[in-house]
Amino acid sequence: MKINNFGYYWLDTWVLANVVQLATQDFCMRYLNCNNDPCGRQYDQMTQAARSAPANIAEGNSRHSTSKETEMRLTDVARASMAELANDYINWLMHHESIPWSNKSTEYREVCNITLDHPSYKDDVQHLSSIHILNQKHKFDKWLKSDNSIVSANCILILCNRLIMMLRKQIENQLSTFKEEGGFTEALTTERLSAKAEKSIKEGAPLCPRCGKPMIKRMARKGINSGKEFWSCSDYPNCNGTRKIT
């Protein structure tokens, strides 16, 4: 995964989320009208749910280096938005006395067998990524441009479900990274302790009697020594060696 100002442009989830958003905008413009959606609420709900996915994926990825917790939370918001949108398409099908295609049907398998190309652009990212997204969307034109709303709704529903599964996997990977590397707070703590250790070495601080690593000054927060400074191992909590300050 590329992490920079445009890192999310390389995410397959972000690409597919844009395909779903474009397809949903087309669907709503074609099939929602003043008769079946007189107040425009259904139009707003579906298009905003579709917009939420790429928007939150982008924002979450942009926060990768400063807050992995926020990144996971926003990715999950994108997943939840797709689940909401999928339910809207299921409702559309049932409202028209139809049901989602069976996963054993020819149509379902044909849509599922279409694979997306992985982004390969190197520069001029916004220009090339837009071309890439449109090319991926055109792979489903057979169903998305159908004059039958049932066909279009089924195709977009399959894409929603595919994106939900991809986002779940992305969240699992983010959680695994968080467990190994910690979050922004942990990174700041590590940097702060490292700086303190370097300063202690320069000032001739003693070495830990247990592990031999440099010690740093800390202040007791409780007990009979509360408020008093003492030497503590810089590798705490892995090592709890201490010395009195004389």
Model pLDDT for residues 158-210, shown as the tens digit of each residue: 999 999 999 999 999 878 876 666 555 555 555 565 666 666 666 678 888 88
Q: How many other β-carbons are positioned within 10 Å of the β-carbon of residue 1? A: 12
| Domain count of the fold of the chain | 2
- Euclidean distance between CA atoms 5 and 185, whole angstroms: 22
The better pLDDT of the pair 244, 6 is held by 244
At residue 32, the 3 state secondary structure works out as coil
Examine the domain organization and report whether 107 and 14 are in the same domain: yes
Examine the domain organization and report whether 123 and 154 are in the same domain: yes
Task: State which of 133, 158, 182 marks the end of a domain.
Answer: 182
Cβ-Cβ contacts under 8 Å for 15 (sequence gap 6 or more): 116, 119, 129, 132, 133, 136
Cβ-Cβ contacts under 8 Å for 176 (sequence gap 6 or more): none
Helices 68-95 and 12-31, axial angle in degrees (round to 10): 30
Examine the domain organization and report whether 203 and 164 are in the same domain: no
| Backbone angles phi and psi of 67, in degrees to 5 | -160, 95
Residue type at 109 in one-letter notation: R
User: What pLDDT does 202 receive?
Assistant: 62
Examine the domain organization and report whether 20 and 79 are in the same domain: yes
Compute the mean pLDDT over every residue in the chain, rounded to the nearest whole number: 87
User: What pLDDT does 1 receive?
Assistant: 43
Task: State which of 159, 182, 205 marks the end of a domain.
Answer: 182
DSSP codes of every residue in 157-194: HHHHHHHHHHHHHHHHHHHHHHHHH--HHHHHHHHHHH
Which of these ranges, 16-30, 80-94, 208-222, has the smallest mean pLDDT? Answer: 208-222
Task: Give yes or no for residue 57 having a pLDDT over 60.
Answer: yes
User: Which domain, by its residues, includes 224?
Assistant: 185-243
- What average pLDDT does range 63-67 have in this prediction? 73
The better pLDDT of the pair 172, 235 is held by 172
The better pLDDT of the pair 149, 186 is held by 149
Task: State which of 182, 206, 233 marks the end of a domain.
Answer: 182
Q: How do residues 20-45 score in pLDDT, each as one tens digit? A: 999 999 999 999 999 999 999 999 99
Contact between 167 and 75 under an 8 Å Cβ cutoff? The reply is: yes
The better pLDDT of the pair 193, 116 is held by 116
2 occurs within a structural domain: no
pTM of the model: 0.72
Q: How many residues does the chain have?
A: 246
- Euclidean distance between CA atoms 145 and 96, whole angstroms: 18
1 occurs within a structural domain: no
| Backbone angles phi and psi of 112, in degrees to 5 | -65, -30
User: What pLDDT does 222 receive?
Assistant: 77
